[in-house]
């Protein structure tokens, strides 16, 4: 199942615009929805020489489609920060993987911005388009320039792009993709036709995850707040310790804070790559949100399978304590990007959490 099938309605809407394409299209929506895949699929459908009659999807077989899938269609350009290009080259990822890891890298690289260059889309990348745009299209169709993540256009690049859009080149679509469209210059945003991808319905997301071979699709989808590609990434990256976290949290008043911290520390230390603590704090925050909902007799949002236990725990604490701890978590979340001492961090968290359910 392709990830663009998560957004059938948006897809059909775009296909209707095909006859009168805008010069620039801004595709936005939360992280983990498959926006980049969707944008690639739309670009492919515009370039394809024999698109499907009803859905407009690319045929996947014509010469244009073959060029496109090999990444060398002459009427297509992808603009992204140099750092993403380099990391992708090293990782040899599929487009689907590219989309999600790209979001990730943006998070990670944000912090390293001062230390490493190439995090932005720069003016030279826009200038290089001049040559591309001054010749006619190779296949007598549309030219597509995909810009991702568009909020990474630096100011000069954004201005240069804006100039281009003021006198838009013929038969050219600028396709901007962004999880944070509000960070784009308003002048640029106003030049784009906006299409915001919504969260797919839970059943659609679950079917997609199941077809990707994910067990417990519903659980992961809920944990990811309904974003299917985020769910997939979280399942791939955190399955080894997510369950452990849930187990510790659901113990609540029966939690043995220090051993729980020690065990989790062991598992987190075994993780290679990026710091898993922000994700841990995210799981904890979601658990707290659910506890707060349960305390108000509302249905839980994230830990669907733990509903009964969450209801029980909510009765053992007080709303005021729960919300105070939630605020502390926000502080912890900031610290979690630079954890001085992993064990201490986890101990502090679990002790505070356990205390929520004790008599004051
Ligand atoms: Zn084709």
pLDDT per residue of the chain (360 residues) written in tens, 0 to 9:
777 789 999 999 999 888 889 999 999 999 999 999 999 999 999 999 999 988 899 999 999 999 999 999 999 999 999 888 766 655 443 443 343 444 444 444 444 444 345 889 999 999 999 888 887 767 667 899 999 999 999 999 999 999 999 998 888 999 999 999 999 999 999 999 999 999 999 999 999 999 999 989 999 999 999 999 999 999 988 888 999 999 999 999 999 999 999 999 999 888 777 788 889 999 999 999 999 999 999 999 999 999 999 999 999 998 889 989 999 988 888 888 876 788 999 999 999 999 999 877
CB 76 within 8 A of CB 144: yes
Residue 24 alpha carbon to ligand 1 centre in Å: 23
How remote is the CA of residue 47 from the centroid of ligand 1, in Å?
7
**By the 8 A CB rule, do 150 and 183 touch?**
no
> How far is the centre of ligand 1, averaged over its atoms, from the C-alpha of 75 (Å)?
14
Quote the crossing angle between the two packed helices 95-112 and 35-47, to the nearest 10°.
Answer: 130
CA 89 to ligand 1 centroid distance, Å = 26
Closest CA to 355 of 333, 324, 311: 324
Between the CA of 49 and the centroid of ligand 1 the distance, in Å, is 5
How far does residue 143's CA lie from ligand 1's centre (Å)?
15
Distance (Å) from CA 142 to ligand 1 centroid: 13
Query: CA 64 → CA 57, 133, 139, distances in Å?
Result: 13, 18, 8
183, 211 contact by CB (below 8 A): no
Please tell me the distance between residue 15's alpha carbon and the centre of ligand 1 in angstroms: 15
Question: How many whole angstroms from 55 Cα to the centroid of ligand 1?
Answer: 13
Task: Find the 65 Cα to ligand 1 centroid distance in Å.
Answer: 4
**Interatomic CA distance for residues 152 and 323, integer angstroms:** 35
Which domains are seen in the chain, by residue range?
Answer: 3-198 (3.40.50.300), 203-355 (no CATH)
C-alpha 315/C-alpha 308 separation (Å) is 11
* 48 Cα: distance to centroid of ligand 1 (angstroms): 4
Report how far ligand 1's centroid is from the alpha carbon of 174 (Å).
20
Counting every residue written for the chain, the total comes to 360
Q: What is the whole-number distance in angstroms between the Cα of residue 80 and the centre of ligand 1?
A: 25
CA of 58 to the centre of ligand 1 (A): 5
Q: How far is the CA of 73 from the centre of ligand 1 (A)?
A: 12
């Amino acid at each position: 199942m392709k990830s663009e099938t998560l957004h059938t309605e948006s897809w059909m809407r775009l296909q209707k615009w095909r006859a009168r394409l805008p010069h620039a299209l801004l595709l936005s929506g939360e992280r983990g929805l498959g926006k980049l895949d969707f944008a690639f699929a739309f670009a492919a459908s515009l370039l394809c020489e024999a698109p499907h009659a009803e859905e407009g999807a690319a045929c996947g077989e014509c010469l244009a489609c073959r060029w496109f899938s090999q990444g060398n269609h002459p009427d297509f350009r992808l603009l992204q920060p140099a750092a993403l290009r380099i990391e992708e080259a090293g990782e040899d990822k599929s487009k689907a993987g590219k989309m999600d890891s790209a979001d990730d890298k943006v998070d990670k690289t944000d912090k390293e911005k001062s230390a490493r260059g190439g995090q932005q889309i720069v003016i030279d990348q826009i200038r290089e388009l001049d040559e591309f745009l001054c010749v006619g299209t190779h296949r007598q169709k549309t030219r597509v320039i995909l810009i991702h993540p568009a909020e990474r256009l630096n100011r000069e690049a954004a201005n240069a792009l804006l100039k281009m859009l003021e006198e838009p080149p013929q038969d050219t679509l600028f396709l901007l993709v962004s999880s944070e469209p509000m960070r784009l210059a308003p002048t640029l945003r106003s030049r784009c036709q906006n299409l915001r991808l919504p969260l797919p319905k839970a059943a659609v997301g679950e079917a997609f995850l199941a077809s990707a071979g994910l067990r417990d699709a519903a659980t992961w989808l809920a944990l990811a707040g309904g974003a299917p590609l985020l769910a997939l990434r979280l399942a791939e990256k955190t399955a080894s310790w997510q369950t452990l976290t849930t187990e510790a949290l659901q113990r609540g008043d029966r939690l043995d804070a220090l051993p729980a911290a020690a065990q989790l520390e062991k598992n987190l230390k075994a993780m290679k790559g990026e710091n898993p603590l922000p994700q841990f704090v995210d799981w904890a925050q979601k658990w707290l949100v659910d506890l707060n909902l349960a305390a108000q007799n509302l249905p839980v949002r994230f830990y669907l399978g733990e509903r009964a236990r969450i209801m029980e725990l909510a009765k053992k604490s007080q709303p005021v304590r729960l919300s105070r701890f939630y605020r502390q978590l926000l502080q912890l979340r900031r610290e979690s990007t630079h954890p001085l001492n992993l064990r201490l961090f986890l101990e502090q968290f679990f002790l505070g959490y356990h205390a929520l359910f004790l008599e004051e």
